[in-house]
Amino acid sequence: MGSGELRYEISQNAYIKLVLHALKHKAAAVNGVLLGRLSDRGDAVEVLDAVPLFHSHLGLLPNLEISLLLIEEYYGSKGMSIVGYFHANERYDDTELGGIARNIGDHIFRYFPQAAVLLLDNKKLEALSNGKDRSPVMQLYTRDSSKNWKLVSSDGSNRLITKEPTANVVLLDYMTSEKWQNVVDFDDHLDDISKDWLNPDLFK
Amino acid sequence: MVTKSEEDQLNRLEAQVDNAGGGAWEYLCLVRKLKVRRPDKVLKHGLAILNDSKKRSALGTEEWTLCEQVAVAAMDCQSLDVAKDCIKVLRKRFPDSKRVGKLEGMLLEAKGLWAEAEKAYSSFLEDNPFDQVIHKRRVALAKAQGNITTAIECLNKYLDTFMADHDAWRELAEIYISLQMYKQAAFCYEELILSQPTNPLHHLAYADVLYTIGGLENLQAAKKYYASTINLTGGKNRRALFGVCLCTSAIGQLSKGRNKEDKDSPELQLLAVAALEKDYKQRAPGKLPLLTSALKSLRVSS
């Protein structure tokens, strides 16, 4: 079954964690993985959690492999698997899905054929404080039949939604209080293992 | 590049200043010395000093250094009015300064006026073709506009002349990595290791790149450089310890069915695993079971 008309539903915590991570490292590209499962009816992918990965040398394999090993080990025991990948480009007006994101997406796709790649939409993020837009500040990419990652148009299709409709309101709140300072990613963990990439206390 | 103890010291100072415990000038000096990028804090605390006439005059001639530092931080935070004011003050004090000219160029960049910035930098270079700072601004200009190929060209040309500039080699390596041009990145790290052979971060980055390129020879070389990183850091660098485990596993997979001579002795990996487990037991005991089973799955495949 391909991802033809699949919906992607991302939980508020996963969504906010990823955006805050990007905001913590404004001058760098960052990435993360999406954890979750296929819905019982098979019509949607539920993204239940996310782990922020790196803010430097995104294109290098060793740290990525270690992080995926540990993440799969942890979430596997909770009945979840890696269902997608998140990427935020270094520059504000770079709206392209680059090679690194595509390659990592391909790897995840091999284990989960309904995988999604989410790219941070900087313009939408900037406009967050203006409007009452409830849609996520991310672009959705899925694999098409010719093995390419294609942008899913957000006009009226609503294929990517946040599970909680107030997610953007909460996100704005956290942005005002500069909550991004507390986000821990895998880079931080590797530098200081007492820092927990699960971010258990982030939303307490 | 900053060591962990330097970073800890900086964070401690930052927390102190944030909580109105004083030490703002000390903090700003440390940021300048370590060349780290903390624009929001620098802007906030630097401006506080500049706007307080007593504190400002207490700085003496350092006032201008602070002005420059705040101008750059302001541009980084897109507070262009603050930047403009600082630069105006500096221009008045130093009417013929090239250093202020560079700031004016940066302001054009910050405003997105790329052509004007390029013109300003080109005319600087006509007068002084060996101005390293301006050369590097041109690279930044290309990168900011998304002209990565131009940025690479400029940086390579710059390094032909200024081949001892480590920051430039590292920037070039990072650009190559972001474009997945790993062989070119490896070359940059080779240059860095040649000129700074005792800097473990170069060994580590080189090992990471070799591992990423893959193939038996590269994996064996990567393992050696992870080992030298461990050596240079007294076994404290976790990324290198993990790297050894990954290499051993990958080499094992590739050399299945080959001669025994091609297989590495397992001692290095066993030591690395032991070191990691000890570290996690001490500082992240909750994650120890996770680590153990992850490392086990690596070993099974070797």
Asked whether the predicted pLDDT for residue A131 surpasses 80, the reply is no
Instruction: Note the pLDDT of residue A130.
Output: 83
Tokens encoding A31: 């990435």
**Which band of pLDDT confidence, cut at 50, 70 and 90, is reported for residue A204?**
confident
Do residues B211 and B243 touch, judged by C-beta distance below 8 A? Answer: yes
The residue type of A44 is A
Q: State the Cα angle at A189 between A186 and A192, rounded to 5°.
A: 155
Q: Where are the beta strands (DSSP E) in chain A?
A: 7-10, 30-38, 44-52, 81-88, 116-120, 138-143, 149-152, 160-162
- pLDDT tens digit sequence for B164-179: 999 999 999 999 999 9
Asked whether the predicted pLDDT for residue B1 surpasses 90, the reply is no
Q: Do B239 and A90 touch (CB under 8 A)?
A: no
User: Which of A73, A91, A190 comes nearest B146 by C-beta?
Assistant: A91
From B128's Cα to the closest Cα of chain A, the distance in A is 30
Q: Which residues of chain B does A90 touch, with a Cβ-Cβ cutoff of 8 Å?
A: 178
Helix axes B238-254, B288-300, angle to 10 degrees: 30
Q: What is the mean pLDDT of chain A?
A: 93
Q: Residue B22: is it exposed, middle or buried by C-beta count within 10 angstroms (0-12/13-18/19+)? A: exposed
Tally of CB atoms within 10 A around A151: 13
User: Which of A57, A73, A103 comes nearest B294 by C-beta?
Assistant: A73
Q: Show which residues on chain A lie within 8 Å of chain B, measured between beta carbons.
A: 27, 29, 56-63, 65-66, 69-70, 73-74, 90-91, 93-94, 98-100, 103, 190-194, 196
Mapping DSSP to helix (H, G, I), strand (E, B) and coil, where does residue A151 land?
strand
From A70's Cα to the closest Cα of chain B, the distance in A is 6
Do residues B86 and B71 touch, judged by C-beta distance below 8 A? Answer: yes
So what's the ipTM on this one?
0.94
Residue A153 per-residue DSSP state: P
- pLDDT tens digit sequence for A16-74: 999 999 999 999 999 999 999 999 999 999 999 999 999 999 999 999 999 999 999 99
Q: Do A62 and B242 touch (CB under 8 A)?
A: yes
Do residues A32 and A49 touch, judged by C-beta distance below 8 A? Answer: no
Quickly tell me which residue has 């970073």 as its tokens. Answer: B7
Q: Show which residues on chain B lie within 8 Å of chain A, measured between beta carbons.
A: 4, 37, 76, 144, 146, 174, 177-180, 182, 205, 207-209, 211-212, 238-239, 242-243, 246, 279-280, 283-284, 286-287, 290-291, 293-294, 297-298
- pLDDT tens digit sequence for B83-134: 999 999 999 999 989 899 999 999 999 999 999 999 999 999 999 999 999 9
Mean pLDDT to the nearest integer, B188-202: 96
What DSSP line would sit under B157-210, residue for residue?
HHHHH-TT-HHHHHHHHHHHHHTT-HHHHHHHHHHHHHH-TT-HHHHHHHHHHH
- pLDDT tens digit sequence for B262-302: 556 788 889 999 999 999 999 999 999 999 999 998 876 44
Instruction: Note the pLDDT of residue A141.
Output: 96
| Cα B50 to Cα B47: distance, rounded to the nearest angstrom | 5
| List of domains in chain A | 3-189 (3.40.140.10)
Asked whether the predicted pLDDT for residue B260 surpasses 60, the reply is no
**pTM to 2 decimals?**
0.93
